[in-house]
Structure 1
Amino acid sequence: MSPRKSVAEARRTRERIKERGVAIASVEGLEGLTIGRLATDLGMSKAGVLGHFGTKQALQLATLDAAAAAFSRLVWEPADGAQPGLPRLRAICEAWITYLETARDTFPGGCLFTTASIEFDARDGLVHDAVARLFAFWRRRLAAEVRTAVAAGDLPADTDPEQIAYELVGLYMALNQEIQLFAAPEAAERTRRALDRILAPR
């Protein structure tokens, strides 16, 4: 086997491990993500899985990175072509609803980040810090989109972007709960009605 082929196969194996890790963690949490479970699910040896990540914590962090890339692909990227301002912000919000309703292949247990934020909110350590950084980054990005909408005249000049971002994150965490815990068929529509109030061009 050529060195190039060996490197490519190692990369593919690492991606398979992370993909399966995301699926498991969305259901069982990042603490439920074990080397043994992944080895069994993927038909690998424990040493084979461990060789790619070294420690459980490294595996958890890599899983978060993979989930963040999927979230970006499913929520942020679909809105890239929308008009800057309220149209793009609304497109992001609608993609976020779709992500929570339909992304079962990637996140069979719902939003991994909602799960991780509850699982690690009272813990110290690198995984806690990574989850907090991701939420903070997305809140800053939402606030930036709100500022763009204000600058475009789509929202009032006295709009508080940080407050809007805070409310949007809370709304989507509630939507994830309604879908996962209650299987509420009206959850998406309730979310859209809440969005109409939060993003109303008063």
Structure 2
Amino acid sequence: MIKTDSRKQTILDTALGLVRNMGFESVSIASLAKEVGMSKSGLFAHFNSKEKMHLMILDHAAQTFSDDVFRKSLKVKRGIPRLKAIVNNWLTWYKEDGGGTCPFIAAAIEYDSRPGPVKDKIQQHTNQLIKSLNKSIDLCIEQKDLSSNCDSKKMTFELYSIIIGHLIYLRTLEFKSASQLFRDAFNDWLNRYKN
């Protein structure tokens, strides 16, 4: 059983790398089988359908993101230090781990007007991500690092938008000063709400 779990983990890691560089629709049973050196029928046994494969890739991406971004930040003091750690971990996450783009953004764009289980899964994981970010901002308010007059939902929207904007400037537009622009925008955002 451990060998099977390890093999599936390797397959999902490879699939996530492909999604980040080619998008979801480009990742098929055949393309993934070729990438991991398996037969199509052997790989099909792990997923049973392309849709189920995409759902499992999204679950894997969400777990990886949660571990690398939010769980790692728990070692840091609550409040602004932890929020900064989350943001830094987030930027590192989409710069590393195979490069490419954010799998959630890729999926959101590809499945935007296509109702069904994959879009439902994208919404589920994106809502969880936003909820976790909102909780981190609420902790900053509780710690009195940020003003108690702050609207944490609005702040979450703003911060999420800054992070996603950075990704687009960095990856899509290949804007050389994207990271500096992000740092300036993040610091302005933080200073606007500091106590």
TM-score when scaled to structure 1?
0.90
1:21 pairs, out of 15, 18, 36, with 15
Post-superposition shift, 1:109? 1.6
1:166 alignment partner in structure 2 = 157
Shift of 1:117: 1.4
Aligned-partner Cα distance in 2 for 1:42–1:95: 28
Question: CA separation in 2, counterparts of 1:112 and 1:163?
Answer: 24
Q: Which residue of 2 aligns with 1:118?
A: 109
Partner of 1:145: 136
* Corresponding position of 1:80: 74
* Structure 1 residue corresponding to 2:83, chosen from 86, 89, 98: 89
Q: TM-score, normalised by structure 2?
A: 0.93
RMSD: 1.4
Contact 2:94 2:100 in 1 (8 A): no
- 2:77 is paired with a residue whose SS is coil
List aligned pairs for 1:94-105, cutoff 5 A.
94-101=88-95, 103=96
Note if contact 1:85-1:150 (Cα within 8 Å) is conserved in structure 2.
yes
Residues 7-59 of structure 1, C-alpha deviations (whole Å, 9 max, x = no match):
23222221222111101111221111101111111221110000011111110
How many equivalent pairs are there?
Answer: 193
Whole-angstrom CA distance in 1 between matches of 2:73 and 2:181: 21
**Is the contact made by 1:57 and 1:127 (CA closer than 8 Å) also made in structure 2?**
yes
Q: Is the 8 A contact 1:97 1:188 kept in 2?
A: no
Q: Which amino acid aligns with 2:121?
A: A
